[in-house]
Structure 1
Amino acid sequence: MSGAPRIGILTYQFSENVGALMQAYGLRTWLRQQGADAKFVNYRPDYVEGGGALRNILSPANAKANAKVMFLKLMAAKQALFEDKAQYRMFQRFQAEKLGVDGPVLKTLADVDAFLRTPAGKFDILICGSDQVWAPSLQFGIDPVYYLAFPGGAQGARIVSYAPSFGKAQLDEGYRDEAARYLARFDSISVRERSGAAIVERISGRSASVVPDPTILLGDYGALAHDPAEPVSQGHIFCYALRSSEGIRDVASMVSRRFGTEVLSPYNPHRRWAEIGRTIKPSPGGWVAHIAQAGFVVTNSFHGTVFSILLRKPFLTVGLTGKRAGMNERARNLLETVGLSHRFVPGEEPAMATRLMDEPIDWDAVAPLLQKLQDDGRNFLKAELMRTNRQDSFV
Structure 2
Amino acid sequence: MFTESPPATADVVVIGAGIIGASCGYELATRGLSVLVVDRGAVAAGTTASGEGNLLVSDKTPGPELTLTQLSLDLWRELPDRLAADLGRTPDLELEDKGGLMVARTAEAAEALRALADDQRKAGVTAEEVAADAAPELEPHLTRELVTTVYYPQDQQVQPVLAATAMLAAAVARGATVVPDAPVTGLQRTSGGFTVQTAAGPVSTPAVVVAAGPWSGRIAALAQGRLPVEPRRGMVLVTEPLPPTVRHKVYDAGYVADVGSASADLVASAVVEATRAGTVLIGSTRERIGFDPLIRVAALRLLAAGAVALFPALGAVTAIRAYGGFRPYSPDHLPVIGPDPAVPGLWYASGHEGAGIGLAPATGRLLGELFVGAPPSTDPSPFAADRPGLAAAYPSTAGDSA
TM-score w.r.t. structure 2 length?
0.26
Higher relative helix content? 1
Higher relative strand content? 2
TM-score w.r.t. structure 1 length?
0.26
Higher relative contact order (CA 8 A, sep 6+): 2
